[in-house]
Structure 1
Amino acid sequence: MQIYRIDHVAQVTPDLDAQVALLEGLFGFRRVRSWNNPAEGTRGTRLEIPGSRGQAWEVVAPAGDGSALQTFLDDHGGRPGLHHVGAEVPDLEAVRAELEVRGVKPTDGTRGRWLEASLSPPEHGPGVLFRFRGPGSLDMCGDSADSVAESTTVDGPSLGIVALDHICQAFPDRDVLARWYHDLAGFVQVWRTADDEHPDMADLVLNIPGSSICWEVIMPRGEDSFIERFWDRNGAAAHHVTFEVDDWDAAMAACDHHDTPTFGENEGSTDGAAWKDTFIHPKHTGGVLVQLFWEERPGVWVRSDKVPPRWT
């Protein structure tokens, strides 16, 4: 199964306008188009992420009667959050066949334009939802109807985001999930922490072929790990999304301007170059835990010289 491009990350919310305003203001995303499609049960807006190299952020909300998005919100207690990752593939039927061989049953999208499936090993329960589309199909979120280009002018400072760096998923065993993604879709392990580097977690990073976005897997270690608590509540879900910012002080000033607190700040120096990272709680982002990082020189925050072991 081949993924040749990650197209977007989609966030579901009951209040589309408020969420779009937050992403335009604090995050500095730029609205590209909006749509209202009650026939497919969705309203939405596509936003450009600065420096994203073709990846976008989409916000979707229920529209019309019997919307699947409303069912999703109801199943999650009405809470907004990350809904799916949109990916392009060269052969949609080949994706279906590969998933079914591995025990994953995909769901057909509207008029067969896309497939939807959780890509985690099925024996571990639902994980991060993916939507796949093939060549010649440009719509995965109902945006084929009433889609209009929009532009807005936003006052005030933004975070100064320069890239969507990675999506992070929680899982009990990082190597089990990394091998699954490698065998299923060719994800390549490029970085990992030593087993005992952190007292409560271990992680690794996978490159998604054809995409500038990476995939991080974090697993619990020790007693009372925060990842264990997250797993107990959410299973193999996305834990957070990470963005790089251009200027750390300017990003923190933007958070202050928008009354958005941060927590869990870390800082250090690698090979003489400084780095910093911090988090914004989901209640201030529309249901997604957001990590921000800054590095004085490329490649010092996540070291590329931590070579992963060969899998056998």
Structure 2
Amino acid sequence: MSDHAAAKVTAIDHVGIAVPDLDEAIAFYQETFGLVVSATEVNEQQGVREAMLRAPGDDGSGTAIQLLAPLTPDSTIGKFLAKRGPGLQQLAYRVEDVDQASDAIRGKGLDTLYDAPVHGTENSRVQFIHPKSAGGVLVELVEPDKH
């Protein structure tokens, strides 16, 4: 590894799971594991309808499960489902400063999906590391909304 600064990860933010039907998946995770929905939203830019689920009583500081359903078959999640079927799609690390983390990642020669961080779930700012640069795993860097 290079001697560039590391991305300063503070926690595992969430694990993203691709699902064909968001409402059906939410019901499964609520009924099976007792998780509660902390947010649902549509992200047109990423082509998904999504939900964040957390353990009961979680104040938002714990690790979440993010369910991702495609808005269209040609969206990233739509293509993922067509190729691989439902399942783990990404691992997201929480960082304090996504700009610093993105620079650190690129400084190590890894490829990011965006030139600059973009809008993410719950008003966060996010960047993705290409799976070819991260051992086959799509890694998301999440700077939570500070408000």
Fold-level match, TM-score > 0.5? yes
AA at the equivalent of 1:201: V
Match of 1:185 in 2: 33
The alignment's TM-score, normalised by the length of structure 2, stands at: 0.82
> What secondary structure is seen at the aligned counterpart in 2 of 1:217?
strand
- Cα distance in 1, alignment partners of residues 84 and 33 from structure 2: 24
Unaligned runs of 5+ in 1: 1-24, 27-154, 299-312
Contact 1:202–1:219 (CA under 8 A) maintained in structure 2: yes
- Cα distance in 2, alignment partners of residues 159 and 215 from structure 1: 22
Which of the residues 273, 283, 295 maps onto 2:132? 283
Match of 2:75 in 1: 225
Shift of 1:296: 5.6
Call closer, same or farther: CA 1:216–1:293 in 2, change over 3 Å.
same
AA at the equivalent of 1:198: E
Contact 1:174–1:218 (CA under 8 A) maintained in structure 2: yes
> What secondary structure is seen at the aligned counterpart in 1 of 2:81?
helix
Task: Point out the structure with max Rg over C-alpha.
Answer: 1
Shift of 1:164: 0.7
Shift of 1:209: 4.4
AA at the equivalent of 2:51: L
4+ residue runs over 4 A deviation: none
Unaligned runs of 5+ in 2: none
> What secondary structure is seen at the aligned counterpart in 2 of 1:172?
coil
AA at the equivalent of 1:169: I
Which of the residues 98, 109, 118 maps onto 1:266? 118
Contact 2:73–2:79 (CA under 8 A) maintained in structure 1: no
Which of the residues 44, 52, 71 maps onto 1:198? 44
AA at the equivalent of 2:83: R
Higher relative CO (Cα under 8 Å, sequence separation at least 6) belongs to 2
Contact 1:208–1:215 (CA under 8 A) maintained in structure 2: no
Which of the residues 64, 89, 93 maps onto 1:239? 89
Match of 2:101 in 1: 251
Counterpart check, 1:175 vs 2:4:
no
Shift of 1:210: 7.9
Match of 1:207 in 2: 54
- Cα distance in 1, alignment partners of residues 131 and 109 from structure 2: 14
> What secondary structure is seen at the aligned counterpart in 1 of 2:28?
helix
**RMSD over aligned Cα atoms:** 2.6
Shift of 1:275: 4.8
- Cα distance in 1, alignment partners of residues 9 and 17 from structure 2: 21
- Cα distance in 1, alignment partners of residues 130 and 109 from structure 2: 12
Shift of 1:293: 1.9
Deviations along 1:152-183, one digit per CA (max 9) or x if unpaired, are xxx54100111111001001111101111111
Aligned sequence identity (%): 27
AA at the equivalent of 1:259: G
- Cα distance in 2, alignment partners of residues 171 and 249 from structure 1: 30
Contact 2:90–2:137 (CA under 8 A) maintained in structure 1: yes
Shift of 1:198: 2.0
The alignment's TM-score, normalised by the length of structure 1, stands at: 0.41
Contact 2:129–2:140 (CA under 8 A) maintained in structure 1: yes
Match of 2:5 in 1: 157
Q: Which piece of structure 1 moves more, 288-297 or 231-240?
A: 288-297
